[in-house]
């Protein structure tokens, strides 16, 4: 069991002047972004699509033959398709840029002995950052303090199971390193920043991924083959017709014109028009329902989806928990929408509050305080000081907090699995089993049932 005093090992952090000097020397704590693509670069990329190449080739042949109307129509279709896809990409990029600006992360950092909020881009090696549940680790670092700290490192490792952490050297079996971009899912602590920006593990991973060339989609590969087949076939037939009329009939000019006309007839110019416009319209329709599509080729991948699997918590559900019942001495109290709690349930609610952390991102702790603040007000914490925290372990499925009041003694409040709580109490085995059975019955109703 990890026991960490709440204020143990905290440092004053860097001086502001020193932090600014390091920031100027090292650079901001941001991952290197890709070089922005110019408008001409986008146009060239879109115009290099096989079907648009075929469309432009057909327009050029019409111009050579003197059919200006057909050539202009095909050119207009090509320009319309390119313009529509350019507009869609521009709007998606602007929306993504706005989202990045809104979600620009802040970090709690100690500077000049005070805890302040700063943009994570301003962090430098040596800063002391404060980590809390539900927050992203702003940079790579080493833990100075930790209390029941668990971090989701799936961004780097792909493993969905959170990794328990401990302060450097406190528990040899638990790592002390934390990595930028990972998510704190439980507990809290402080860490000294060791690496920022591109030097973090996430930065190194991003650099390696950026070197991987994007594969063509199935539609792009198929249309590319189709264009090559039609191109080769048209050249062969046109060449054969030209040679026939030139060598056998002696009319080379007529042979060239006939060959070009036959090649034009073989090119399916309607197909690239329809394909380009349908993809662009598909991107536009998806944007109307809030789906950002940066490239029209992504429409193909989305259209091939037959089963969409999403995370439940925070996606289908709200990732919010509410306290529904208090159960004491086999009496159940529905606390939804009530601002008061009968005196018989006050000790239970007080115990649950003192076993929880105010300001925690844990949904259960927040649900307890939502009810307690309305029913008990400031009575819960008035006159009490937190002394120790005891975290949940695999051996003991409960957490506890030790409080010091106005007297000399300590009050220890705990909450957790009913089996663990009843095992701590001096009660008759039959009574303990009755409590566990009642908790299981409530759990059968779809409720989450901790004991306190």
- Band the pLDDT of 6: cuts 50, 70, 90: very low
Domain assignment present for residue 448? The answer is no
Instruction: Give percent above pLDDT 70 in the chain.
Output: 75
Domain count, the chain: 3
Asked, for residue 363, whether it belongs to a domain, the answer is: yes
- What pLDDT is stored for residue 439 in this prediction? 86
Query: What local confidence, expressed as pLDDT, does residue 270 receive?
Result: 63
- Write down the pLDDT at residue 102: 45
pLDDT digits (tens, 9 = 90+) for 167-214: 876 566 567 788 888 888 878 888 999 988 888 888 887 777 666 556
Considering the domain architecture, whether residues 368 and 294 belong to the same structural domain is answered as no
Q: Which residues are catalytic?
A: 311
Q: What does the pLDDT read at residue 169?
A: 64
**How many CA atoms, within 13 angstroms, populate the side-chain half-sphere of residue 190?**
21
Are 221 and 79 within one domain? yes
Looking at the fold, whether 195 and 218 belong to one and the same domain comes out as no
pLDDT(378) > 70: no
Pair (426, 393) in one structural domain: yes
User: Is pLDDT at 16 greater than 80 in this prediction?
Assistant: yes
Q: Which of 210, 231, 252 is the last residue of a domain?
A: 210
Question: Is the pLDDT reported for residue 99 higher than 70?
Answer: no
Instruction: Report d(CA 450, CA 177) in Å as an integer.
Output: 31
**pLDDT tens across 255-295, in order?**
766 766 676 666 666 666 666 667 777 777 777 777 766 66
Distance, CA of 344 to CA of 350 (rounded, Å) = 11
Question: Residue 115 falls within a domain, yes or no?
Answer: no
Asked if residue 146 has pLDDT above 50, the reply is: yes
Do the domain assignments include residue 161? Answer: yes
Is 450 part of any domain?
A: no
Domain boundary among 161, 179, 210: 210
Residues 49, 85 within the same domain:
yes
Q: Over 60: is that where the pLDDT of 314 sits? A: no
Distance (Å, whole) CA 136 – CA 149: 13
- The residue from 186, 210, 234 where one domain ends is 210
Q: Is residue 29 part of a domain?
A: no
Contacts for 65 with CB less than 8 Å, ≥ 6 apart: 257, 260, 261, 264
Which CA distances in Å does 402 have to 322, 366, 393, 410? 25, 19, 17, 6
- 341: domain CATH number is 3.40.1110.10
| Per-chain mean pLDDT for the chain | 76
Residue 400 has pLDDT above 60, yes or no: yes
Task: Name the band, by pLDDT with cuts 50, 70 and 90, for residue 316.
Answer: low
| Residue 5 pLDDT grade (very low, low, confident, very high; cuts 50, 70, 90) | very low
Q: Is residue 315 part of a domain?
A: no
Asked if residue 3 has pLDDT above 60, the reply is no
- 345 CB contacts (<8 Å, ≥6 apart)? 326, 328, 333
**Residue 7, domain member (yes or no):** no
**171, burial (CB in 10 Å: exposed 0-12, middle 13-18, buried 19+):** middle
User: Residues 279, 339: one domain?
Assistant: no
Say whether both 87 and 224 belong to one domain: yes
Q: Please, is 313 exposed, middle or buried when counting C-beta atoms within 10 Å of its C-beta (0-12, 13-18, 19+)?
A: exposed
Domain, as residue range, for 353: 325-443
pLDDT at 296: 63
Q: Show the beta-strand stretches assigned E in 41-160.
A: 106-111, 114-119, 128-131, 140-152
| 354 and 434 housed in the same domain | yes
Shared domain for 220 and 354, answered yes or no, is no
Question: How confident is the model at residue 268, as a pLDDT?
Answer: 65
218 and 83 fall within a common domain: yes
List pLDDT tens digits, range 45-69.
Answer: 776 766 677 677 777 777 876 778 8
Could you read off the pLDDT of 325-372 as tens digits, one per residue? 888 877 888 887 766 788 788 888 888 888 888 777 677 888 888 888
Residues 279 and 228 in one domain: yes
What CATH number has the domain bearing residue 195? 2.70.150.10
- Together in a domain, 289 and 221: yes
């Amino acid at each position: 069991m990890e026991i960490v005093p709440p204020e143990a090992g905290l440092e004053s952090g860097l001086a502001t002047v020193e932090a600014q000097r390091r920031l100027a020397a090292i650079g901001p704590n941001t991952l290197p972004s890709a070089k922005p693509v110019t408008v001409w670069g986008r146009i060239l990329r879109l115009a290099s699509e096989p079907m648009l190449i075929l469309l432009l080739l057909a327009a050029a042949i019409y111009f050579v033959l003197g059919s200006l109307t057909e050539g202009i129509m095909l050119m207009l279709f090509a320009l319309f398709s390119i313009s529509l896809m350019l507009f869609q990409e521009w709007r998606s990029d602007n929306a993504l840029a706005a989202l990045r600006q809104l979600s620009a992360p802040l970090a709690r950092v100690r500077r000049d002995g005070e805890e302040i909020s700063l943009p994570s881009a301003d962090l430098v090696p040596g800063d002391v950052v404060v980590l809390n549940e539900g927050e992203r680790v702003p940079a790579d670092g080493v833990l100075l303090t930790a209390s029941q700290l668990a971090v989701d490192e799936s961004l780097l490792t792909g493993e969905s199971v959170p990794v328990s952490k401990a302060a450097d050297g406190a528990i040899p079996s638990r790592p002390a390193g934390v990595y930028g971009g990972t998510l704190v899912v439980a507990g809290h602590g402080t860490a000294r920043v060791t690496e920022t920006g591109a030097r973090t593990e996430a930065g190194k991973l991003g650099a390696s991924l950026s070197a991987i060339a994007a594969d063509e989609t199935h539609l792009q590969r198929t249309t590319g083959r189709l264009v090559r087949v039609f191109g080769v076939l048209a050249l062969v037939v046109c060449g054969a017709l030209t040679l026939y009329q030139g060598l056998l009939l002696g009319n080379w000019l007529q042979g060239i014109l006939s060959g070009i006309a036959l090649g034009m007839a073989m090119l399916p110019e309607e197909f690239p028009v329809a394909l380009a416009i349908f993809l662009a319209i598909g991107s536009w329709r998806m944007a109307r329902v809030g789906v950002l599509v940066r490239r029209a080729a992504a429409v193909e991948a989305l259209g091939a989806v037959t089963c969409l699997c999403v995370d439940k918590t925070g996606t289908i559900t709200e990732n919010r928990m509410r306290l529904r019942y208090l159960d004491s001495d086999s009496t159940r109290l529905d606390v939804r929408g009530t601002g008061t709690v009968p005196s018989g349930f006050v000790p239970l609610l007080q115990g649950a509050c003192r076993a929880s952390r105010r300001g925690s991102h844990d949904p259960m702790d927040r649900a307890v305080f939502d009810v307690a603040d309305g029913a008990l007000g400031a009575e819960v914490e008035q006159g009490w000081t937190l002394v120790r925290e005891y975290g949940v372990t695999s051996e003991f499925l409960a957490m506890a907090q030790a409080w010091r009041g106005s007297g000399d003694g300590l009050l220890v409040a705990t909450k957790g699995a009913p089996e663990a709580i009843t095992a701590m109490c001096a009660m008759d085995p039959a009574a303990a089993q009755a409590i566990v059975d009642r908790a299981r019955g409530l759990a059968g109703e779809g409720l989450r049932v901790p004991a306190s």
